[in-house]
Structure 1
């Protein structure tokens, strides 16, 4: 097993997708194929992954609170980009924030073995916010977007050629 740097990671936005009662699988993102648009000038990609909500129950007879696992949430992924007014991916994020729909997202790692394919992550999310960050004179103008993840994370491992 080898670890890899975040450098070289790419994020993409696709079209709208409907919720499912079952977990998503790779075929949901490839059949029919999505049209993926890279979100460029990405500085930070945040995190995604399931966290179970705690469900507490206290039995009077044994005076013990039990913690059960409730519904899972994949959280909110925070994207930070250098503003590029001509970038189709950033424009798609801004447009998606104005809608109530879930969109397909793909994250591609920079971990492909020589001649092989890289690891990928797929999920659906609502673009919950988009804001511009200006900071100080020696800063890059930033576009910040929050993705409210509404599905499981489909993981595709890197493969040898």
Structure 2
């Protein structure tokens, strides 16, 4: 078993993307122009979770559970504020829009001579707030990415 650190991962934002209701595929992101969001400290989490639909079956005295709607959650991203970073500027602009945007997360897990794994998804930027805290802290940008699509997993590949 091989484990990987989050260190070295890169997050990118693309352009506004129209969702059709079908699951996205890697091909849906072909031709996208990506802008790296720099100074990340934390990338949060993403991935589908089904809504629980419980049903109390009186006849058998047991609660049965079905799966309902799926949600890929909210990815809470924390970055050190960098006013000149085009990626952070794009995040602020996306927060002002009522659109979903393409996002790409690239991990530092490429085999020698190969390509790294990636996660591709569409999200609405629900928030882009600044956190200042006390004197001995780095000022931070907190972005909430409301993931509105499935998460496309691209596995790392060898040379």
Aligned match of 1:43: 41
Report the alpha carbon displacement of residue 65 of structure 1 after superposing the two structures with TM: 2.2
1:45-124 matched pairs, under 5 angstroms: 45-124=43-122
In structure 1, list runs of 5 or more residues that go unmatched. none
Report the alpha carbon displacement of residue 21 of structure 1 after superposing the two structures with TM: 2.0
Superposition TM-score, scaled by structure 2 size: 0.97
SS, match of residue 8 in structure 2: coil
Separation of aligned partners in 2, 1:80 and 1:52: 26
Separation of aligned partners in 2, 1:66 and 1:117: 43
RMSD over aligned CA atoms reads: 1.0
Superposition TM-score, scaled by structure 1 size: 0.95
Deviations 1:21-70 (A, max 9, x none): 2211100011xx11100000011100001111000122333343211111
Separation of aligned partners in 2, 1:149 and 1:102: 9
